[in-house]
Amino acid sequence: MNSLSAIERPKSKAFEDILRFISEHERFLITSHARPDGDSIGSALALALGLEGLGKTADIFGGDPVPRSFVALPAIDKIKVTDRVEGPYDGLLILECNDLKRPGVDGLDQYFVVNIDHHLNTNPFGDLNWVDSSAAAVGEMIYQLLLAMDAPITLEVATNLYVAIFTDTGSFQYSNTSAKTFSIVADLVHLGVRPSDVAQSIHMAHPPERIKLLGRLLNTLEIHSSGKIASITLSHQMLEETGAAPNDVEGMVNYPLSISGVEMAAFFRQDQGDSFRVSLRSKDRYDVSKVARLMGGGGHKNAAGLSVEGNREEAAGKVIGELEKLLDS
């Protein structure tokens, strides 16, 4: 049942150590980063359901509520929002985080920590650390883990994994999308996942407020010096006037990137006072995580983020300046 395809068992000591730890323990706590995305939510749910399928218990805690696009995922009610965890867990399984602070949940440091991530710059902050930067999503890693544990991959598990991978690859558009990605999602489709249902639930189920906000955002479009960089800017006022929720901006950074000739896009989001959160995206070639790291942020080659101080002009000046340097390098 679980040997659907030629998905290889990872050849790493960390992977085997984690398998052993899980097989020898029963009660798990699962968490992921604040402001959760499809990969963190889908992977956490799939892992919890898989562990339960093996007769273990798994609770999921996060610091922030589930965004609207994911509220219909199977078993979504398993995710509890809290600012502190207590309880007799044998271990913490933490997904997609570079430290124990990322989830925004206190009390995590009292547990044995299993760190599972696909970000290149993850510190080995866990007691066990499995980091695979070749994985397009942690969802791919969770699938490999569940296969190796012989956990039942039910339709609920498969749907959550598919959503994790679908969202983290930008619907299979980003450069992290590999043959392994398609082998895994082929397995998931064999298990009953319907790609068109998932695509509709993610891309064609938006509230009207989001589309009104998109109109406002597109009006802020700026194309910078070379025509290879584009940016958009969100103010608090736009959210108030359209009635959109802060997470309705998810994915909107892809609009400036969709312009022909644009290699990199920046999305400036007004934060507290005079500061901005900035999402960076690039088409295949440029590594925007370099700029993010230089400015105190982080991320992947084609998707990264950072925070910057200053008013709109100052913030944009700093970030666009660094992107232009990257363009010239």
- Site residues, Mn ion (CB under 5 A): 39, 137, 168
The beta strand positions in 187-263, using DSSP E, are 222-223, 229-234
What angle, 0 to 180 degrees and rounded to 10, lies between the N-to-C axes of helices 179-190 and 138-149? 60
Residues 6+ apart with CB under 8 A from 201: 69, 72
How many alpha carbons fall within 13 Å on the CB side of residue 89?
24
Q: Which residue has the tokens 């997609």?
A: 96
3-state helix, strand, coil in the chain (%, to 5): 40, 20, 40
> Which of 295, 284, 282, 283 lies closest to 322 in space, CA to CA?
295
Give 308's strand partners: 276
Residues 6+ away with beta carbon under 8 Å from 188: 143, 158, 159, 161, 162, 165
Category of 171 on φ-ψ map: left (φ > 0), alpha (ψ -120 to 50) or beta: left
**DSSP states of 58-73 as a string?**
EEEEESSPPPGGGTTS
Query: What is the 8-class DSSP label of residue 10?
Result: P
Tally the C-alpha atoms within 13 A of residue 267's C-alpha that lie toward its C-beta: 20
Cβ-contact 57, 51 below 8 angstroms: yes
- Which residue carries 């709109």 as its tokens? 312
Rg (CA), the chain: 20
